[in-house]
Chains A and B, each alone.
Chain A
Amino acid sequence: MYRTQLSNHIYNFDSLRTLLAKATPLRSGDVLAGVCANSYEERIAAQIALSNVPLKNFLNEVVIDYEKDDITRLIIDSHDAIAFTPISHLTVGGFRDWLLSTEVTNEIIHAVANGITPEMAAAVSKIMSLQDLILVAQKIEVVTKFRTTVGLKGRFSTRLQPNHPNDDNKGIMASTLDGLLFGCGDAVIGINPVSESEEIVTSILSMLEELRLKFEIPMQSCVLAHYTLTKNILDKAPVDLIFQSIAGTQKANESFGVNLHELQEANDAVLSLNRNPYSKQVFYFETGQGTALSANANAMIDQQTCEVRAYAVARKFNPFLVNSVVGFIGPEYLYNGKQIIRAGLEDHFCGKLLGLPMGIDVCYTNHADCDQDDMDNLNTLLAAANCNFTMAVPGSDDIMLQYQSTSYNDAAYVRKVFNRKPAPEFELWLKKMGIFNSDGELTSANEDIKKLLNHLS
């Protein structure tokens, strides 16, 4: 039992799960799930109570039973008590102050990361302002390496997302080339397939492999099919990264046909291809607040805590990229620009705090109360927070998934305003091709660019 006594009222919260939910800044998904605070005052009362909870409590009181949920077991069994030592005396509120203090650097946060559980990260984020979320996240550098190095300070990468409504190879290639000419694609060139067909996935991967080899592009490709499909084509398709959407409860993952044991097998199978010369990072995960609720598997946990629990799954597999597709799920989970912006910054912060290479799909659907101004805000705030990567969709308009994300231009804007460069290997290639001039500015046509475009003919 947790409680806050205010002058006019005593608020009681029967469990840590309830306390976390009631302390969560307002969002439509928690209203829909019936777990949110009943008033603004109750929300702040919950935040006050939460700020006084010792971090140690999170190791003794779980939000779903250990016996019932494999993610709870993963969180508890993989907790690093030694890494936890420097923060083990803190409350949630004390943890916030500790994270914000100037003495606590990137190295110190990395050293405690494996002692931080998802619920601790979620808890502290709930009592942090947007400014706090940015200030702490920008300190944390999570670097991953495949053919490019992603996440270095002063760098900003993108997933080029050249989707096509019929999985048409030439259509995908046209968007890919247009994106490369904007300096995009250094995190991954990733296609969401319409069809879950081994033949089509193989065909897209083979086409991108040919492009990579012909123009010696330091890049990774990925087709975002279910991991069981990707695992089946490893003998015939050039698979760099294996993809899967994951959620924060066992039941939600089951509804996506995901289990931890099979994820491990898939990870090991892709690693055995030895296509990543620099690290053992071959997974690309996507997540998003509201996923567990949409599968009726939220177990009365608020959607942000569920989201951070999904990061425990991601962390287990030392992924190359993790991406929260923050506004994709729709207004019943994140109603408007305000809710999407806060959720994007929370997800980025919590992921980084747990040591993940976080990117954010800054996005919205047309039935959300949101527009490009909100996306400009979130994109800019994430750049300030040193987000590892965002999406690069032609003209912001994904004609396959029917939603709006960030564009090639948005990436170029971040590079310019924040003086960021793409991943170093990719930057060199852009200069070699004359896509960037020696100052790193985008150029117009030259002979090499024409050669690249002519790849389509």
Chain B
Amino acid sequence: MSIKKSESSLIQRSELKQFTNARVALRTSGVSLCTEEMLAFKLAHARAVDAVWTDWNSTTISNELKSLGIESLLIESEAGSRLHYVQNPQSGCNVNVKSQEIIQSLKNENAIAIILADGLSPIAAQEQGSKLIACLMEELRTLSMNMHPIFICSNGRVAIGDSIGEITKSKIAIVIIGERPGLTTPESLGMYITLNPTNESTNANRNCISNIHPEGLSIEQASNECKQLIEKMLKHNTSGYQLNSK
């Protein structure tokens, strides 16, 4: 990293900001943050909270995908409400009865299931979801595998992919999900990939690509990484932490 030296050739405290995105060298009054810094922090927190609690519009995403020639299905977890979802993580891990009926008929053992879930940042899924899916579908085309329609799942957690995998007998589940928002990145997506997903799958069976947002990992990079991971999973017939040592 190149360092911009001040005139005296010594580093000034304010120059610490060159080295990290952490909130260093904040301006103060006495021991406290000055007004501008204090309000900037509150604004960042407000955005992060809004990212958790703002409902998404899954129909809009479905329409966006349709205009790109991509089929999708709207489904829901067992959570029922956002509040219940936040307080009971397990309720976001299974599809509800109505959604089970919708996907029941889709069994295919050579298919990839892509699930877009709101997770803890519905805004992230709303903003970036359809673009990421379009890019990912393009990448995955070379794998010559069947694709399920995209499952757009409200109040879903990462393990919703296992529940869907169990019902559809899919070869691969890719869960694209809004990540728990941080102050600097309230709109970040994560991607969790599992080989042979079933209700017995655990976090140890998944591989994760995280931090997908305009200032982090790009949609193109993430899609490409995902394809490479799937190729590796199919080659070694395993996923999760066991894949890391291959």
Taking beta carbons and an 8 Å cutoff, which residues of A are in contact with B? Answer: 28, 31-32, 162-165, 168, 170-175, 177-178, 181, 331-332, 335, 365-367, 371-372, 394-397, 399, 402-404, 407, 409, 412-413, 415-416, 442, 445, 449-450, 453-454, 456-457
Chain A residues with CB under 8 Å of B44's CB are: 397
Q: Please state if B182 and A366 are interface contacts (CB–CB under 8 Å).
A: yes
Chain B residues with CB under 8 Å of A175's CB are: 16, 20, 22, 24
Question: CB of B120 within 8 A of chain A?
Answer: yes
- In the complex, which residues 179-215 of chain B have their Cβ closer than 8 Å to any Cβ of chain A? 180-186, 211
Q: Please state if B52 and A396 are interface contacts (CB–CB under 8 Å).
A: no
Chain B residues with CB under 8 Å of A396's CB are: 23, 41
Question: CB of B143 within 8 A of chain A?
Answer: no
Question: CB of B66 within 8 A of chain A?
Answer: no
Q: Please state if B45 and A372 are interface contacts (CB–CB under 8 Å).
A: yes
Q: Please state if A366 and B52 are interface contacts (CB–CB under 8 Å).
A: yes
Chain A residues with CB under 8 Å of B45's CB are: 366, 371-372, 404
Closest to A172 in B: B20
Question: CB of B88 within 8 A of chain A?
Answer: yes
Chain B residues with CB under 8 Å of A165's CB are: 21, 211
Q: Please state if B11 and A399 are interface contacts (CB–CB under 8 Å).
A: no
Bound Cα distance from A403 to B180, whole angstroms: 9
Q: Please state if B41 and A178 are interface contacts (CB–CB under 8 Å).
A: no
Chain B residues with CB under 8 Å of A178's CB are: 13, 16, 24-25
B144-179 contact mask (Cβ, 8 Å, vs A): 1 or 0 = 000000000000000000000000000000000000
Question: CB of B57 within 8 A of chain A?
Answer: no
Q: Please state if B23 and A456 are interface contacts (CB–CB under 8 Å).
A: no
Chain B residues with CB under 8 Å of A332's CB are: 86-89
Chain B residues with CB under 8 Å of A402's CB are: 180-183, 185
Q: Please state if B180 and A453 are interface contacts (CB–CB under 8 Å).
A: no
Question: CB of B246 within 8 A of chain A?
Answer: no
Bound Cα distance from A125 to B211, whole angstroms: 41
Q: Please state if A331 and B23 are interface contacts (CB–CB under 8 Å).
A: no
Known contacts A168-B20, A174-B22, A457-B3: A372-B42 contact under CB 8 Å? yes
Chain A residues with CB under 8 Å of B10's CB are: 450, 453-454
Question: CB of B51 within 8 A of chain A?
Answer: yes
Name 7 extra pairs, CB < 8 A, besides A181-B13, A367-B181.
Answer: A164-B20, A366-B180, A372-B41, A372-B45, A394-B22, A394-B23, A399-B20
> Which single member of B11, B25, B49 contacts A457 (CB below 8 Å)?
B11
A-B contacts, 20 of them at CB < 8 A, read A163-B22, A168-B19, A168-B20, A171-B19, A171-B20, A174-B16, A174-B19, A178-B25, A335-B87, A366-B51, A366-B181, A366-B182, A367-B120, A372-B42, A395-B41, A397-B22, A397-B41, A402-B185, A409-B31, A416-B31
Question: CB of B113 within 8 A of chain A?
Answer: no
Bound Cα distance from A415 to B32, whole angstroms: 12
> Which single member of B5, B87, B89, B183 contacts A404 (CB below 8 Å)?
B183
Shortest B207–chain A CB gap in Å is: 16
Complex A-B, nearest 10 residue pairs according to Cβ-Cβ distance, in ascending order: A395-B23, A402-B182, A412-B31, A174-B19, A171-B20, A366-B48, A178-B24, A174-B16, A394-B22, A453-B11
